[in-house]
Amino acid sequence: MKNIFAIIVFTLTTCLGFAQNKGKALLDEVSEKVKTYENISIDFKYTLENLSENIKQETRGDVVMQGEKYKLNILGVTQLFDGNKLYLISSEDEEVTITSQNEDEEDAITPSKMLSFYEEGYTYQLDIQQNIQGRKIQYVKLIPIDSNSELKSILLGIDAQTKHIYNLIQIGKNGSKTTLTVNSFKTNQPISKTLFTFDTKKYQDYYINNLD
């Protein structure tokens, strides 16, 4: 095949390599900019869709990140990661579940990994550019290298001006589609020194489920 269509293959390979390099370069630019921030505060909308199962769920949440540490509020549950332990705090159930965060789950995009998860395990390709409410959003398509991954692809929308992530669209092989859209992106905000510290005194009446 290569001998017969040498010119076509060369052209396609060159174009794909160019697109992949430009896509990776854009994501690297985003990552390098993010690393300059002391902390990041994001308000977002999270949507889960599965047309075959007739499912569509929407919710809002917020997260504060500082390095690997984060505090995430979503679906009535607070997720607090202090860099070592993950605390799942449910006010409705009055329960706290404590565990070591499993970094072996490569498909799991945690808040602390949201802006850097793509650095390994994916091929990259520039996708479409859209004008959304006056903002130019450049999409980069990520395809898992691991054929056993439950993910089919990921689209990362990057604001061409600010170089911040606008949204993340994750497509599963089971037909599911999850979209995280950033409504507010703030950096270097004044935060409490104990924001990422679990205070047992506040949860004395809660059931503590320590899985470690």
- Give the CATH number, domain containing residue 161: 2.50.20.10
Q: What per-residue confidence (pLDDT) applies to 9?
A: 29
With CA atoms as reference, report the closest residue to 84 among 95, 108, 68, 66: 68
Residue 173 within a domain: yes
Q: What per-residue confidence (pLDDT) applies to 107?
A: 45
Q: What per-residue confidence (pLDDT) applies to 125?
A: 86
155 DSSP β-pair partners: 141, 169
Alpha-carbon distances, residue 41 vs 37, 63, 115 (angstroms): 11, 6, 13
SS3 171: strand
CB of 137 closer than 8 Å to CB of 130: yes
- The total domain count for the chain is 1
Residue 104 within a domain: no
Q: Where do we find the tokens 């689209």?
A: 155
Domain that holds residue 162: 13-60+110-206
Q: Which residues of 39-60 are buried (b: 16+ CB within 10 A; e: fewer)?
A: bbbbebebeeeeeeeeeeeeee
Which pairing describes strands 165-172 and 177-187: parallel, antiparallel, or unpaired?
A: antiparallel
Q: What per-residue confidence (pLDDT) applies to 18?
A: 36
Residue 69 within a domain: no
Q: Each residue's pLDDT tens digit in the chain (212 positions)? A: 433 233 222 223 223 333 457 777 888 888 788 888 899 898 988 888 887 778 888 989 888 988 888 898 988 899 999 989 999 999 999 999 999 865 444 445 556 556 566 667 788 888 999 999 899 999 989 888 888 888 899 888 889 898 888 888 889 888 889 888 889 989 999 999 999 999 999 999 999 988 87
